[in-house]
Structure 1
Amino acid sequence: MLAVERMKLFTTRSPWWCALVALATTIGFSALVVGNADDGGEFTATVASTQFGYSFGMAVIMVLAALAVTTEYRFGTIRTTFQAVPNRAAALVAKTTVVALVALVIGELSAFGSWALALVLKPNAPLALDTAADWINVAGVGAIYALAAVIAVAVGILLRHSAGAIALLLIYALAVEDLIRLIPSVGDDIYQWLPFNVANKFLTGDGASNMGRNVDAGAPMSTAALSQGWSLAYFAAVAVALLAIAVATARKRDA
């Protein structure tokens, strides 16, 4: 099933284009931030600033993941899949696994590509991966991309419509969580537990990879109350829970 899902994914154009756009967007935004950083000033390039564009690439990855499942519903090929594999849960988990692994690879390529380009642009900046915080800030992007892909697949299974799934994912990831902070009294408290804010806490931690400089030199800091390790576990739990709901729903309804 994994081999079949791999072939289905890579024999269409959209995953290739999404992968290229994710890499170009992430590395491009990071290059802009690092290229305009000071040399030795408050906005000196740091490891955190090399990952400034990861959220833009994550949005593209979620589009890729949503299309991987909604395209099958659109063209009716999901019926053939379920006829060949009557165990719908196994088929959908196999698809999710392949998409998540692809997202993991793209995430690592974009993260280390951004960091490597920063080394070329600012060879004298403190960009060495000397601490655990530095490594998490870079290598952790792949894990976040993979879990974001699982969430996107789950939403695609639930909605079964490409435009609707993509619109919902992008609006939520890029706007809704920040807008919730505007709710009087309780907005900030709710925001602390929203999944993508928590995922950002895993990457940025307490800002150690910013080396104490202005936080604007890197990705925005998270307000999540959890530690880095628990933040990753929380984000993973949200992804797995959504996938479980989606699979259970797919098993009960007509293809």
Structure 2
Amino acid sequence: MTLLAVERIKLFTTRSPWWCALIALVITIGFSALVVGNSGDEFPATVASTQFGYSFGMAVIMVLAALSVTTEYRFGTIRTTFQAVPHRASALLAKTTVVALLALVIGEISAFGSWAIGTVLKPNADLALDSGADWINVAGVGVVYALAAVIAVAVGILLRHSAGAIALLLIYMLAVESLVRLIPSIGDDIYEWMPFNVANKFLTGSGGANAGRDAAAGAPLSTSPLDQGWALVYFAGVAAVLLIIAISTAKRRDA
């Protein structure tokens, strides 16, 4: 618990987490207001459309998570941390836990805030959370944010450079997965198993009335062949593997 408290203090005494949290909330809820506010008969407002901007907020959360570790490497304070806690894995796991919990909270606030603004803008639309799929579509955002933060922390530990880690994360998330589909013959097959495509499957399901969304009223549906439960397990597994590799690497090299 002491390590968690120390990491919490280190995280919240810097400005970047506060700014990133604010930006994530503004972007996510702002996109919801824009999409739902412009919905109509052709593209009706749905629970899914209130969550249209979640991926943009997730990108900001990953920046926050990467900075939480790369900033320590940049200013050399990670050496002090490792001197105080010789078992590096414990220190890094504590940092990851604190960042993931913060990402979870921001994700839930942004998701339910987006849903709430949608109900205010379109009070007559069918935005009730009356199915399990609807609840996953909203409440699941925080879980995805938390796992994405773990991935970002792992990348930060591996690269140790803020600009490099942020560039890699954003380029991969916003461009690489989509560009994979352009590979002739096998592109679509590879894309089915890309981590963020699979994470989207957990949130959106298979589409249609029984999955809480209309394919035309939100972000593109995932092409993953996994069901929602296994999609979450897969995304969590990717995050865990990356973190294990990152911590193992940090234990072997100089700080």
Amino acid at match of 1:93: L
Tell me the alpha carbon deviations over residues 156-177 of structure 1, each in whole angstroms, 9 at most, x when there is no partner. Answer: 0000000000000000000000
Q: Residues 223-234 of structure 1: matches in 2 within 5 Å? A: 223-234=223-234
**Which residue is 1:73 aligned to?**
73
Amino acid at match of 1:170: L
Q: Residues 184-223 of structure 1: matches in 2 within 5 Å? A: 184-208=184-208, 214-223=214-223
Is this contact kept in 1: 2:197–2:224, CA < 8 A?
yes
Q: Residues 139-178 of structure 1: matches in 2 within 5 Å? A: 139-178=139-178
**Which residue is 1:10 aligned to?**
12
Amino acid at match of 2:189: D
C-alpha root-mean-square deviation of aligned residues, in Å? 1.2
SS of residue in 1 equivalent to 2:151: helix
Cα distance 1:212–1:164, how it changes in 2: closer, same or farther (>3 A)? Answer: closer
* CA distance in 2 between partners of 1:221 and 1:230 (Å): 16
Cα deviation for residue 214 of structure 1 reads: 4.8
Deviant stretches of 4+, over 4 Å: 208-214
TM-score (norm 1): 0.97
SS of residue in 2 equivalent to 1:216: coil
Cα deviation for residue 212 of structure 1 reads: 8.0
Cα deviation for residue 216 of structure 1 reads: 2.6
Task: Report whether the alignment pairs 1:34 with 2:36.
Answer: yes
SS of residue in 2 equivalent to 1:43: coil
Structure 1 residues not aligned, in runs of 5+: none
* CA distance in 2 between partners of 1:51 and 1:174 (Å): 17
Cα deviation for residue 209 of structure 1 reads: 6.3
SS of residue in 2 equivalent to 1:217: coil
Structure 2 residues not aligned, in runs of 5+: none
Cα deviation for residue 207 of structure 1 reads: 1.4
Task: Report whether the alignment pairs 1:122 with 2:122.
Answer: yes
TM-score (norm 2): 0.97
Is this contact kept in 2: 1:65–1:99, CA < 8 A?
yes
Cα deviation for residue 210 of structure 1 reads: 8.3
